Amino acid sequence: MGLRAKTRVGGDTSNVNGVYSYATAPAPRGLWNYEFSINSDTSGTAGRNLGYYDFYLAVDSDPTAGILWNIVNPLTHWADNSYGNNSTANGAGTEGTFAALGANNNVAQNSQNITFGDYPTFPQGGLTLAPNATYDYVLYAVEKGAGSGGTRLVDVAIKVKVGNGGAAVPDGGTTFGLLGLAFAGLAGIRRKLS
């Protein structure tokens, strides 16, 4: 399985430990796409087509440093994935639906943009471009029928940082409150031991 971000026009962008950085884009499209690739039978000999496992893509719809996951099956969410097998040449896949092509193939790929109307955020779809944002993505496989919360057999994750990145998420004072309780507890124990 593979997951990456890339510049929409002009090729790849540096990946530094799974973090892809981009300048702020003018509307209407982001400068970058995120892409996934799934291969359910890398040896090509096990007979495991794409329906052998369940696959999920978790996408972040919160532009801050916080995360708001929306999870979809990437094989059924989009009707224009490119399908093939281990011998399919780059760019020679067949586009279509999982229902029509999944049973006879073990490879699926797609490239998406956060502004596309079918971005997996419910109910709004595509996101408005934020000048400074951070988005997280996770692609993972589970046993057939285990659901999106099933034990992950394999996963891959990336982070996309736009402009200066998303704003830090305040913790509402809970950290200081917990520290205060801890110190009060220590003071109480100290008095009791004296």
With CA atoms as reference, report the closest residue to 38 among 139, 148, 160: 139
CA dihedral 45, 51, 52, 58 (to 10 degrees): 120
Radius of gyration, alpha carbons of the chain: 21
With CA atoms as reference, report the closest residue to 18 among 134, 150, 168: 134
Amino acid found at 123: P
Are the C-beta atoms of residues 45 and 68 closer than 8 Å to each other? no
The whole-chain average pLDDT of the chain stands at 88
Per-residue confidence at 191, pLDDT binned at 50, 70, 90?
low
Q: pLDDT by residue (tens digit) across 51-90?
A: 999 999 999 999 999 999 999 999 999 999 999 999 999 9
Q: pLDDT by residue (tens digit) across 146-160?
A: 999 999 999 999 999
Question: Positive or negative CA dihedral for 140, 143, 149, 154?
Answer: negative
Residue written as token pair 């034990």:
151
Pairing of strands 94-96, 81-84: antiparallel
pLDDT for 81 equals 97
Q: Percent of the chain, pLDDT > 90?
A: 56
**Predicted TM-score (pTM) of this structure:** 0.83
- Domain 2-168 -> CATH class: mainly beta
User: How far apart are the two ends of the chain, measured CA to CA in Å?
Assistant: 60
Please give the structure tokens belonging to residue 119.
Answer: 């971005």
Distance CA 100, CA 84 (A): 12
- Rounded to the nearest angstrom, the gap between the alpha carbon of residue 85 and the centroid of all alpha carbons in its chain is 23
Are the C-beta atoms of residues 71 and 58 closer than 8 Å to each other? yes
DSSP letter assigned to residue 13: -
